[in-house]
Structure 1
Amino acid sequence: MPLGTAVGGAANYLVATATMVYAQRLSRSVQDPPVDLRGPGVVVFAVGLAGNFYHHCLLSRLRADGGGSKGYKIPRGGLFGLVACPNYLFEIVGLFGVAMIAQTVYALAYATGAAAYLAGRSCATRRWYQSKFDEFPARIKALVPYVL
């Protein structure tokens, strides 16, 4: 990943976290929601974090298994047999877990916006795989197994 992309992504999460904390602070005087989603939100966040980490580990092994080769390969393992970008899927799951924990409109809006962005990126990634690899399976969706 280019350094500029990594810095931009990190800056995005830093600003989102800071503004989410600020929105949470502003909502302290607001009455609590009738349903407490913090507990389930922690579980959803943990599943998203673990799934994202696992699929990034699988991606990092692609280059290591190739003997230092810089060539591209179709990822295997985990949910890669069903979707092109399971790491994005689990990132979205984690963000909605954060939204459940925060229970603010801002957190939900951020998770929804990030989901839309990552859905677009995953569709572009799937198209790239199809153009690069003749053997890329047509049954593999972009983001959501059997759906998108």
Structure 2
Amino acid sequence: MAYSYEPHYFEDMEVGTTFESAGRTITEADFVFHSAFAGDWTELHTNKEYSEEGPFGRRIGHGPMTFIVTTGLVQRCGFVERTVIAFLGMNYMDIENPIFIGDTVQAEFEVTERRELASRDDAGLVVIDAHTTKQTGEEVFAGDMKFLFKRRE
């Protein structure tokens, strides 16, 4: 498991390399900010009284918010700092369990593919599997992230 907070270039991203993020506790402010930013005021996320009667017994975090928090955890690891040119998308994303206010999440990332690109001599494609869990050990996010990483000069 790599704990380096140093930027990594395409050449550094060997298949099997892993990174572990710091933890982060989900707050009321996270829920409110995400709702405001996305314009998604769905009552399962924003209405305490309504959500207590719902399937989870309390408010849950937005699914897309769980993904966005995971992308922030990638950034906190540091390996993408100043070396990623673009986030190119995902092949899959699963959000199997909800996050709640007060949950602490942490993520692990593994390089699963590194590919030269005929169209670019300054960068290459790196696919990273992400798994985010909360303090209970439950996985709240799984997905892969495709990045365009700079090559060393």
Which category describes the TM-score, using the shorter chain as reference length?
under 0.3
Question: TM-score w.r.t. structure 1 length?
Answer: 0.26
Structure that is richer in strand per residue? 2
Structure that is richer in helix per residue? 1
Question: TM-score w.r.t. structure 2 length?
Answer: 0.25
